[in-house]
């Protein structure tokens, strides 16, 4: 198709403003004449996902991996293929989150063993380089090497990696960069492994987001880190909903707080263990905890608007009972709402236990089997705990909501 006239500048800005984000970034990279215009228009991303080797913008992936023949790794490797635990030189102004752990390195060895077992009969051809290294290491003749079976091979690989033997020729590792969405692979680039993966990741962030006049507006930001997550300190984000996944929640939250200073967070979602004293938790009106440690319900905290999401199979009256006991002992601000997302059956079980608490007054059907049930438990002369349930929009099977609230006595 051919068009007679270019868009005028104001029209161009209106169109770019509403373009799909990934197309817009590509357009900016490939059309120098409109790059300045594109950079001057605020970028709005619906869902931005970051982990130590991947950026996902809405539905498009920008992934990095350290690769060798068949294997790949989402974090840096040392010269014998184990997780690189060396010191990170932090001479530049970057936000660096270091969540490396031996445990994760071990998991990768196990995944690699699994991948080896899945290889077809031509595994020797696919691993020629490693095979050559093994022959030298074991001083095997050509005839004997043919006798090495799959099981033995796996054991040898593991011992080599775990023992970190010196002198073994290292496999050739590269960094693989893939940019794709569900339908199209836009790029598949191989890079020499002469810079660390976390430096490549920082470069990726820089290329995607640098040079913008305004903060990038992100509706939902998800962060996870299993290695070293390195982000330019100049990354300017305005985030509405923040989600931190996996382990190392506290490190991520603390390190990213400077990047989020311009944000007006509406919610923060965390899972697994975290420190409830983390100051970032004071910056959002709504906190969402997924499978939190049970200490959350026993500790004194300033959290007043909380949503708790637990695995569907959990039967958890204890958490709710701990929370209520906590508030009865220490008091709680009027207006507090803790909202447990669960199934109706689980809510019913909770009600049966809650109504037995001393001082509890139950309202509703005597067998707790119908809607409109609630429990009142006085805290002191002025406030009381009000517990009730209601149906809510279905989210992964937990379509019921148990609300434990504090209100002024009527």
Partner 1 sequence: MPSCEIKFDFNDSDESVTVRETRIILLLPVIRRAVELQYPDFATEENAVIEAPFRVPFKKDAGVFLFDTIARYAAPTDDNVHEITVEQSYPEAGPKTLDELKEIIELANFWECTTYMECIGFAIAKKLEDKTIEEIAAFMGVECNPPGNFFAEEDGWIHPPADAFQNVQ
Q: Where on the chain is the footprint of partner 1 (CB under 8 A)?
A: 1-3, 5-8, 10-20, 23, 26-27, 30-34, 44, 46, 69, 126, 128-129, 172, 174, 177, 179, 186-187, 189-192, 194-195, 200, 203-204, 207, 217, 219
Rounded distance between C-alpha atoms, residue 403 and residue 388, angstroms? 5
Query: Closest separation between CB of residue 311 and partner 1, Å?
Result: 29
Least distance from partner 1 to the Cβ atom of residue 84, Å:
19
Q: Please, what is the minimum distance in Å from the beta carbon of residue 10 to partner 1?
A: 5
**Shortest distance, CB of residue 9 to partner 1, whole angstroms?**
9
Provide the 8-state DSSP code for 33: G
Q: What are phi and psi of 20, to 5 degrees?
A: -60, 135
Distance CA 233, CA 218 (A): 17
> Which is closer to partner 1, CB of 189 or CB of 390?
189
CA 154/CA 115 separation, integer angstroms = 10
**Interatomic CA distance for residues 74 and 226, integer angstroms:** 8
What is the b/e burial string over 319-342, where b = at least 16 CB atoms within 10 angstroms of the residue's CB? bbbbbbebbbeeebeeebebbbbb
Q: How many angstroms separate the most distant Cα atoms in the chain?
A: 89
20 or 79: CB nearest partner 1: 20
**Minimum distance from CB of 5 to partner 1 (Å)?**
6
Q: Which of 17, 330 has the CB closer to partner 1?
A: 17
Among 297, 293, 250, smallest CA distance to 272 is for: 293
DSSP 260: G
Q: Which residue lies nearer to partner 1 by CB, 217 or 343?
A: 217
Least CB distance to partner 1 at residue 116 (A):
17
- Residue 193 or residue 274: which is nearer to partner 1 going by CB? 193
- Please answer whether residues 244 and 270 qualify as being in contact, where contact means their C-beta atoms are separated by less than 8 angstroms: yes
Nearest distance from C-beta of residue 69 to partner 1, angstroms: 6
Minimum distance, C-beta of residue 103 to partner 1, in the bound complex (Å): 30
Beta carbon nearer to partner 1, 4 or 367: 4
DSSP one-letter code for 83: B
- Distance between alpha carbon 217 and the CA centroid of its chain, in Å? 19
What gap in Å lies between CA 377 and CA 406, rounded to an integer?
A: 10
Nearer to partner 1, 46 or 211 (CB): 46
Judged by CB, which is closer to partner 1: 72, or 179? 179
The residues, any chain, with a CB within 8 Å of residue 40's CB and separated by 6 or more, are 13, 213, 214
Look-up of token digits 């990768």: 108
């Amino acid at each position: 198709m051919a068009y007679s006239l270019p868009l005028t500048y104001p029209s161009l800005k209106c169109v770019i403003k509403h373009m799909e984000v990934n197309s817009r970034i590509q357009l900016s990279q490939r059309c120098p004449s409109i790059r300045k215009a594109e950079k001057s228009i605020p970028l709005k991303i619906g869902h931005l996902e970051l982990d130590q080797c991947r950026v996902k913008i809405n539905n498009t992936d920008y992934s990095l991996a350290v690769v060798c023949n068949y294997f790949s790794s989402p974090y840096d490797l040392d010269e014998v293929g184990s997780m690189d635990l060396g010191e990170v030189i932090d001479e530049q102004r970057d936000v660096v989150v270091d969540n490396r752990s031996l445990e994760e390195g071990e998991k990768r060895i196990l995944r690699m063993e699994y991948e080896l077992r899945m290889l077809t009969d031509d595994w020797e051809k696919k691993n020629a380089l490693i095979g050559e290294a093994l022959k030298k290491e074991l001083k095997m003749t050509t005839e004997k090497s043919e006798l090495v079976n799959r099981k033995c091979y796996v054991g040898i690989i593991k011992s080599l990696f775990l023992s970190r033997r010196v002198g073994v020729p290292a496999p050739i590792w590269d960094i693989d960069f893939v940019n794709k969405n569900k339908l199209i692979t836009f790029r598949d680039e191989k890079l020499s492994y002469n810079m660390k993966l976390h430096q490549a990741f920082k470069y990726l962030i820089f290329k995607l987001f640098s040079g913008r006049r305004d903060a990038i507006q992100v509706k939902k930001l998800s962060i996870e880190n299993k290695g070293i997550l390195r982000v330019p300190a100049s990354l300017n984000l305005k985030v509405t909903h923040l989600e931190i996944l996996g382990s190392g929640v506290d490190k991520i939250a603390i390190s990213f707080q400077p990047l989020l200073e311009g944000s007006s967070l509406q919610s923060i979602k965390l899972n697994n263990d975290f420190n409830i004293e983390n100051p970032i938790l004071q910056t959002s009106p709504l906190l969402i905890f997924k499978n939190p440690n049970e200490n959350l319900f026993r500790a004194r905290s300033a959290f007043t608007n909380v949503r708790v999401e637990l695995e569907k199979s959990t039967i958890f009256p204890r958490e709710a009972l701990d929370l209520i006991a906590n508030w009865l002992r220490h008091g709680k601000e009027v207006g507090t709402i803790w909202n447990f997302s669960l199934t109706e059956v689980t809510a019913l079980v909770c009600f049966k236990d809650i109504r037995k608490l001393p001082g509890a007054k139950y309202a509703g059907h005597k067998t707790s089997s119908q809607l409109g049930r609630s429990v009142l438990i006085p805290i002191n002369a002025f406030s009381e705990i009000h517990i009730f349930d209601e149906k809510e929009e279905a989210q992964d099977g937990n379509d019921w909501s148990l609300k434990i609230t504090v209100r002024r006595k009527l």
